[in-house]
Each structure stands twice: as C-alpha cells, then as structure tokens.
Structure 1
Amino acid sequence: MTNVVRYLTHPQVTIDPSIPVPEWGLSQIGRARTESVTATGRLSGTRQVISSGERKAIETAEIIAAKLGIGVEVREAMHENDRSATGFLVPDEFEATANQFFGQPHVSIRGWERAVDAQLRIVGEVEHVLARGTPGDVLLVGHGGVGTLLYCHYAGLAIDRAHDQLAGGGCFFAFTSQERRVLHGWRRLEEL
C-alpha cells in the first residue's frame, strides 16, 4: 500500500530582527491556523511527524503531533536555505534576493546557500526518512524555500520560484511514498 507524504510549511511567524531567523516562533495567527488543522481528522493516517530544527517548524509540528498522539522527530538538516550571510532582510530586499536565489540556482546569492545545494540537502533528508519504510503517512514540517526546491524535485521541474508556495506560508503539497508521484501542488493548510 502506498502512503501519502505531505510537506507542510510553517505558517506566520513573529518577526523580530533582533533574533536570528531560525529562532523565530509562530505568531498568534500561525498558531491558530495550525491548531485549526488538528480538528479536521484528515491527518489521522499520519504515523510520523518529522520537523526541521528551526523553532517555527518545531512549534508547528508539535501542535499537530500532540493531537495525533505521536512524537516529533527533529532533523536539523531539514532547515531552510542558509541565509545567515545576510541575516534578516526587510521584505522588499528579501523578495528580491529570494528571486535571485531561485533564478540563479547554481550561484550563491549574497553568500546564501546555493539553491542546488539546498535542494540536494532537503531531498537527501526526505529520502533518508522514506528509506526506513515505516508504515503510515508521513508529515514533514519545514519551510517555503526548501519546500519549493523539494516540490520541484519530485514534480520533475526546474528550480523556479514560479513553483513557490502560496503567499503567507502554511501550505502543503503531497506525494506518494513509493513512486514519489506528486498528488497535488501547494494548498493552504486549512485544506488538510
């Protein structure tokens, strides 16, 4: 039997330029959106919840896993693309830099991790989890940048920001665990 693997990006966070981005937590809106998902029961077949090591992803994963009565496995290498060279960027500057990141995947933009390297890393982490062959559906909780790179890989698409999640985060896509066939593109977490 083929199980479903869902990759979910964390929803809205509390932005604080004085705190390193990986340490940002969910905002009240992000937390409320995540909690609303747990009431639907649509994740009842999930047997593994795997999270990036960033605080916002862990908080998202813990809310869902608690409702499912299972633990969260944290995999540090599932982190967002490494942007530590620039740290926090104001929204317009961030968007312009992210456009370059996706538009020139073989180049380190402003010292950021190259998109091709981030894609290899996230695909490797997901493949490691799936190689265990644990029965049941899998929920991977992470970030928009590497999530888009993962989606491009499994959908057989070139790296391109045109395949990015919907604005606001808190989106997911799904694929089959055996064939790695994409079932659908990005949807809002409220559709879980």
Structure 2
Amino acid sequence: MRAQDDEKRKRILDSTSNIIMTQGIAAVSLSKIAKNAGIASGTLYTYFKDKNDMLRALYLNRKERIAEAITQLDINGDPRQGFNHFMDLIYDYGQEHLDEFVLIREFGQSPILKSLNISQAEAYAGFESLEEFVQNGVSKQVFFDIDFQVILDYAYTPVIEYLISIQNGNLDPNKIPFEQIKMLSTRAIIMEESK
C-alpha cells in the first residue's frame, strides 16, 4: 500500500469541494476529482475507499475547520458579549472562507448527507463549547430557554446569508451594515433585561 501524502489528500478534498461548489454534489465523480486534483484515478483509493468516504472526509474536514475558527469563546463570560463575539467570529471567518460555510449548507440540503453515516457526535465534534456557552446563557437567563441549535442558527444563518448576499451583489454592506444583522439576531436570542 502506498504511503499517504498530506498535501495530496488536501488537494483531493479541495478538488472535491471545488466540484461541489461549481457543479453540485450530484456532479461529483472520482474521475472528475482525480482530473481536478491532477492525480491518477487509482491514487484516490490510497486515501479513500470510495466516493462516499471522500465526501464524508470533506464534510468532517470543513466542519472541523469552521469549529476551530468560530468557537473561540469565553464560555463562562458575559453571554451578551459572547454572543456578539460569536457572530463576529462567523463573519470574520466567512469573509475569507465563505465557500466552507456554503459547502456545509450544500451538504445539509442534499439527501446524500444521510448516506454518509455521520453521527451527531461526529458532526458536532469541535462545537461542544458552543453548547456549553448557550447553556450558560440560558442558566443566567440571558438567552431564551430553547434548544442550543436553534439559538446558534439565529446567529450563524443570518451571517452566512448576509455574506452570500454581499458576494452575489444583492446587498450593499454600506447601506445595511453587519451591525444591523447582529442587532436583529441578538433581539431574537437575548431576553430583555427587566427594568
């Protein structure tokens, strides 16, 4: 068996991502990936047992990269400041790596995700601190007491959609600054302070 080369594995994953982003998940084939990565088709099997194994690895790789970038939070700090910081982390990473967020959304909207047999624990590996952060905010009666995933979606999804709209030229960030998006999300998640 041939030894694996980290750079080649990265090229394979990046090529797979490129195909998905330009042609959709259904267009992914081993021959396209090999051609796009500049390697022989047989080389793919040194790294992955089949196409689903490759797609699974890509999904988990991108989730891991996103988790690393957006989970730099003070779990026990002020939930209001933490929520604001969380949205900033998503925005900052999304400005440079929007394709990763869009790729994860593409997987989420495709029936192929179920066939990849990714457990919930695998899908949320690296995001555990976000659940703790939300639980802290709920226990301090700052966040509404709802499932942590719903709370995160109210921060995550608007930022991604905002960045996509800017990228597509449908929204002018000078007319609708990011601070407005943060304000709307904050109103949906943070309970009003009693007066």
Q: How high is the TM-score relative to the length of structure 2?
A: 0.28
| Structure with higher strand content | 1
Higher Cα radius of gyration: 2
Give the TM-score normalised by the residue count of structure 1.
0.28
